[in-house]
Amino acid sequence: MVFFAACTSRQDEKKLILKTFGDYRRFTALRQGRKAVQCIDAASVQYYADLLPLILYADSATVRSLSYDKGIIVFAVRHTTPVAEVQQLNGKTLFEKLVKMGLVNSDQEEWQKRYHLSVRMADDHNAEVEFLDTAGKAGVAFRFVKENDLWKLNIPSGLRFMPADVWSMLEEQSGLSRTELVAALVESLTGTRDTASVWQPMVLQR
């Protein structure tokens, strides 16, 4: 009976994890930032908080060295947001803003066609959701953490599956230079192509 109860409890926890993930994917697809942020863990909020100094102060050399996931956020926020507004943001509100901009999104239909989800419980407070293909091979996996009795998604855990140099891959595929590529990406997000300022810090440090 004890073993059966433990198995049942684990199955219930897995359902709650998948519900959190489903809510996150739905809210990001709908660009509902305030609802989506309720699905992520404290470490994810801190990840976005750590981007704010880069958005405000990073020079062109630093920005050029950033990974794709960080670089595109720096470029897009610099191009669309007044400095006074950026200075008022924190990790939570930056994430909400990015969701509303469409920079945090998941193509649910495409993923559901290609993968099915599998939940692995590490312990009562840590789990992992894997995207398994038809051969049972994991393409991407996200960690989930239980905080205040609620399962939360850890976004940085999924970023480890991103290729090390996405920028070079995109440059090779598109035939564009990094500057041209950034201009095209920012234009696709904002509708304008005046991107010279995104390479410069929003605020000069003294």
Mean pLDDT, residues 144-168 taken together = 86
Mean pLDDT, residues 49-74 taken together = 90
Mean pLDDT, residues 57-66 taken together = 89
How do beta strands 126-132 and 138-147 pair? Answer: antiparallel
Residue 153 phi/psi, 5-degree rounding, is -80, 135
Mean pLDDT, residues 184-203 taken together = 75
pLDDT value of position 158: 85
Indicate if the pLDDT at residue 4 is higher than 50.
no
Q: What percent of the chain has pLDDT over 70?
A: 83
Mean pLDDT, residues 27-56 taken together = 96
Q: What's the mean pLDDT when you consider all of the chain?
A: 84
Longest Cα–Cα distance of the chain, Å, equals 67
Indicate if the pLDDT at residue 49 is higher than 80.
yes
Angstrom distance (rounded) from CA 135 to CA 20: 26
Long-range Cβ contacts of 200-203 (<8 Å, 24+ apart): 200/59, 200/60, 201/56, 201/57, 201/58, 201/59, 202/55, 202/56, 202/57, 202/78, 202/83, 202/86, 203/56, 203/57, 203/83, 203/87
Indicate if the pLDDT at residue 148 is higher than 60.
yes
pLDDT value of position 194: 61
Angstrom distance (rounded) from CA 118 to CA 137: 11
Indicate if the pLDDT at residue 15 is higher than 90.
yes
Residue 181, CA distances (Å) to 56, 77, 101 in order: 21, 16, 19
Mean pLDDT, residues 50-59 taken together = 95
pTM of the model: 0.85
| pLDDT tens figures, 64-123 | 888 888 888 998 898 889 999 999 999 999 999 999 988 886 555 666 667 788 899 888
Answer with the residue of higher pLDDT: 103 or 193: 103
pLDDT confidence bin for 2, thresholds 50/70/90 = very low
**Residue 111 neighbours by CB under 8 Å, 6+ apart:** 131
Indicate if the pLDDT at residue 6 is higher than 50.
no
Indicate if the pLDDT at residue 59 is higher than 50.
yes
Indicate if the pLDDT at residue 181 is higher than 90.
no
